[in-house]
Amino acid sequence: MLTNHPNISIRRLEDVLGFTRQGYYQYWQRQNEQVHDDLNVLRLVRPIRRQHPRIGGRKLYYFLQHEFLERGIKLGRDAFFELLARNKMLIRRRRRKIKTTFSGHPFRKYPNLIKALVVERPNQLWVSDISAP
């Protein structure tokens, strides 16, 4: 704020925005600490990502818990995931879409003879699939 508007004093900001001078400086101090902590976390994550590129975020968070405690970094799992996402370090999930019957083929399609049938007891209806995998 002060870099964009250097002629506005903090006292004036106190009156206009409703926060104290102490609150203003504490906010910027927390922001600097947060940026420093984020950089430290990313420095810890990069070598692990190089060695194990497909390791999941939860396992990575679990492995780094000890390092976080040693360095005094307070970071929850969700914040850790957000940090990785902001820096494009999250592993994208593989889509495991199972391919089933392809109905768009040019061959003859037989009508569904059991569409309106209500099954009331066991062994009343048996079905099978003769298509090759």
User: How far are the Cα atoms of 42, 71, 103 from residue 59, in angstroms, in the given order?
Assistant: 15, 19, 41
In a domain, 110, yes or no: no
What is residue 131's predicted lDDT score, i.e. its pLDDT? 67
Q: Count of domains in the chain?
A: 1
Q: Residue 41: is it exposed, middle or buried by C-beta count within 10 angstroms (0-12/13-18/19+)?
A: buried
- For 77, the token pair is 């799992």
In a domain, 109, yes or no: no
In a domain, 59, yes or no: yes
**Which residue range is the domain that position 20 belongs to?**
10-86
- Mapped onto helix, strand or coil, the DSSP state of residue 96 is coil
What is residue 80's predicted lDDT score, i.e. its pLDDT? 92
Residue 21 neighbours by CB under 8 Å, 6+ apart: 10, 11, 14
pLDDT < 70 stretches in the chain: 1-6, 10, 13, 31-33, 131-133
What is residue 85's predicted lDDT score, i.e. its pLDDT? 92
